[in-house]
Structure 1
């Protein structure tokens, strides 16, 4: 086993963490990636040529996990329902959901996968045709989708540039499935839904431009010209979080990047993300990220290169 080390900060962890890249003839996987965006981030990805009858589960994950079948056949069981799948089917596993999937005994499948999360994760999946009740959608763009995953795997070294490559390839992967789904499924959004999205976009833009100020949810409502209850309602419908939770997420994401990439004191970083009181900031950061700002800055990780798949 070869080990290459590079210092970086992890969120939501209380100890040093390893990012693992595994490569063998039939299996590639990049896992335990750090969260680098509050809106959408890659947690892990991979590809595998499965053996006959290969089974995974029962198991649950913390993020959204999307598999895309490249060839062969298999079954996917979720919510007590088993589906038979083949090439070009994509199946979605929800966070904290226990599922089982199994390769066919005669024609075992091969597939690629991406696991991701963030405020906009479910919204992206909805635009691609997925929902709590619709877990399997067919996509014909095999070359485009597998190329995205291959590019993520190739960018496994822990560099800032590779962070951007992986993030852009995740975005492209989702854009590809959204484009295909919307081009093959004619649907018109109701007039009201269009304006809901427009209001949310205005609020998100306002947050991005003013998160460093001492702004409140009421400030967003005044800026847009709608009531707080209506803004909260449409935020939860579109982004599945409240306006306050989104504002908090943006602030903590910006703060984590400053803690990671600068040596600025915590007090100054607190001011830069909209907190006049450093203690209030530290308490909010710990509640959101899981550890204090100082502990986050002091944490570190390693990249482990391996040719052995986890059991």
Structure 2
């Protein structure tokens, strides 16, 4: 079985789609840009990953959380997983936009530091030219090779670093990661988990170690990154395991032990819940790039 990714290159639409996850903390899934036709509509639907759009020119409408927004060049909007939304190009001045789809156990954190959350999904950006150049860099590095993978990851990091710097200039107080009580405890907890995820971690003991109660740590975690400490720990372990399965020849029981699971069956069950396939099937999955020259010709499928 092969995982199929697609690369479309045409005058009005350019996109790289359905990449394999290649980094635990922040993973590029797809990106591209398009000059939309008048009235071109997408949705309503719910994404399974984060998708950030930046409008390059023209106008359009976004409906999200039962609110409509009239957007124009320089506006950007984030679509979060499991949030229903639709958007439509203006009939007289249709927009052109670029987009990046991403996931990973730190995806929400990166988006938040760049000024986007589920509650505040829209803001102005003043760095569109730089962001456009990074997306073009990603698209140029579309081959499924190790060197192009490194290039794509590098451009993705530059993309978010530029967005974060832009946000700090606009709203420095809000952009400060320590702008609310509890964030410092979340930071310490994340650092502890990053170093000890291979070990047996009890959230009660983690809270005691940091010096707060479990309830306060959990609520602070959910406010900062949208999940509980336990969920964060499991997400990190699964992403690390996926990396090992793809990039090493370790036995599956050794991979399980390396991310904190002595019971291989329990590990395999949780892995399948996260990725929809068993560790063994994931390791055996190949990868193929489908090249097309017209929008709509690429179809995501397993071969």
Q: What TM-score does the superposition give when structure 1 sets the normalisation length?
A: 0.85
CA deviations 1:255-293 (Å, max 9, x no partner) are 111111222211222222222222232222223322221
For structure 2, list consecutive stretches of 5 or more residues without a partner in the other structure. 298-303
Structure 1 residue 130 corresponds to structure 2 residue 116: yes
Change over 3 Å in CA distance of 1:255–1:138 after alignment to 2: same
Q: Which one is further off, 301-310 or 118-127?
A: 118-127
Number of equivalenced pairs = 297
Tell me by how many angstroms 1:215 deviates.
3.0
For residues 302 and 103 of structure 1, the distance between their equivalents in structure 2, rounded to whole angstroms, comes to 32
Counterparts of 2:118 and 2:268 in 1: how far apart (Å)? 36
1:262 aligns with 2:248: yes
1:182 CA displacement: 2.3
Shift, 1:68, TM fit: 0.8
Partner of 2:98: 112
Where does residue 158 of structure 1 map in the other structure?
144
Say if 1:124 and 1:78 are closer, same or farther in 2 by CA, change over 3 A: same
Tell me the C-alpha RMSD between the 2 structures. 2.5
CA drift of 1:220 comes to 2.2
Partner residue in 2 for 1:296: 282
Indicate if the aligned counterparts of 1:213 and 1:273 stay in contact, CA closer than 8 A: yes
CA deviation after TM superposition for structure 1 residue 56, in Å: 2.4
- Which residue of structure 2 aligns with residue 231 of structure 1? 217
1 or 2 for the larger relative contact order (CA 8 Å, sep ≥6)?
1
Residue 196, structure 1, aligned to residue 182, structure 2: yes
For the Cα contact (< 8 Å) 2:167–2:175, is it kept in 1?
no
**Of the candidates 81, 101, 126, which is equivalent to residue 140 of structure 1?**
126
Q: TM-score of the superposition, structure 2-length normalised?
A: 0.87
Contact 1:36–1:253 at 8 Å: present in 2 too? no
Classify 1:279/1:40 alpha carbon distance in 2 versus 1 (closer, same or farther; 3 Å).
same
Q: Distance in 2 between matches of 1:191 and 1:88?
A: 24
Distance 2:218 2:12 in 1: 47
